[in-house]
Structures are given as C-alpha cells and as structure tokens.
C-alpha cells in the first residue's frame, strides 16, 4: 500500500475544509453540487483532496451553512495515489478546521 494512503488511513489527522473558498455561499454551492476540497495538514507539503460528497452519509444537521457555525460531518470518496478511499471528516465551520481520516475501499 502507498505510504501516504497508509498514513492517512491510520488515525485522525488535522484538516482544513475548502481552503480556497472565501464566501460561505460558495461552500454551500459546492456541497450541494457534491464536490469539495479537504486539505490534510500533517503530510509533507500538505495533501489536498477533491472529495465526491456522499449526501446519504454526510450530516448537516449540526451545521448552519448560512452563519458558518456548527459541526459538519463530511463523508465522501476519492482516489489518492491510484487507491480508492473514503474520507470522513468532522469540520468546525467557524474555523473550517477539524479532524479527518481515510478508509481504503476495494
């Protein structure tokens, strides 16, 4: 298994949610469209992943996207170094920071 995939699939890691977006309305649009970016901060050079949002598993019930407050439970998939993974992250919308992990999928 790839070393980066192995590292990020072992435990929870510091992440930042949608680091390029400034406006909350843009973030809401991206979530609705089903594609967002998560950056893992504890890798050499940091690792930014484009995540295909799983709307069935992502929980917005504790998040207020209009005010940018609360906790977003984000779940989605992507490929990292040719390995399909599921990303799970808990994001504090006030700071857009949180903890995330990957799970290798077959």
The band of 87, judged by pLDDT with boundaries at 50, 70 and 90, is very high
Fold classification of 3-104 is Polyomavirus Enhancer Binding Protein 2; Chain: A; (2.40.250)
Question: Each residue of 27-78: pLDDT tens digit?
Answer: 889 999 999 999 999 999 999 999 999 999 999 999 998 898 999 999 999 9
Domain ranges of the chain: 3-104
Q: How far apart are CA 8 and CA 42, in angstroms?
A: 9
The band of 1, judged by pLDDT with boundaries at 50, 70 and 90, is confident
**Residue 24: pLDDT over 90:** no
Q: How far is CA 40 from the centre of its chain?
A: 8
Sign of CA dihedral 58, 101, 17, 30: negative
With beta carbons less than 8 A apart as the criterion, state whether 43 and 7 touch: yes
Q: pTM of the predicted model, to two decimals? A: 0.92
């Amino acid at each position: 298994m790839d070393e980066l995939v192995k590292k990020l699939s072992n435990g929870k890691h510091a992440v930042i949610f949608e680091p390029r977006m400034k406006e909350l309305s843009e973030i809401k649009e991206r979530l609705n469209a089903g594609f967002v970016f998560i950056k893992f901060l504890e890798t050499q050079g940091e690792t930014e992943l484009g995540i295909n949002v799983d709307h069935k598993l992502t929980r917005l019930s504790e998040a207020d996207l209009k005010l940018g407050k609360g906790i977003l439970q984000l779940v989605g998939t992507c490929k990292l170094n040719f390995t399909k993974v599921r990303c799970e992250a808990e994001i504090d919308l006030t700071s857009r920071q949180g903890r995330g992990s990957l799970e290798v999928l077959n």
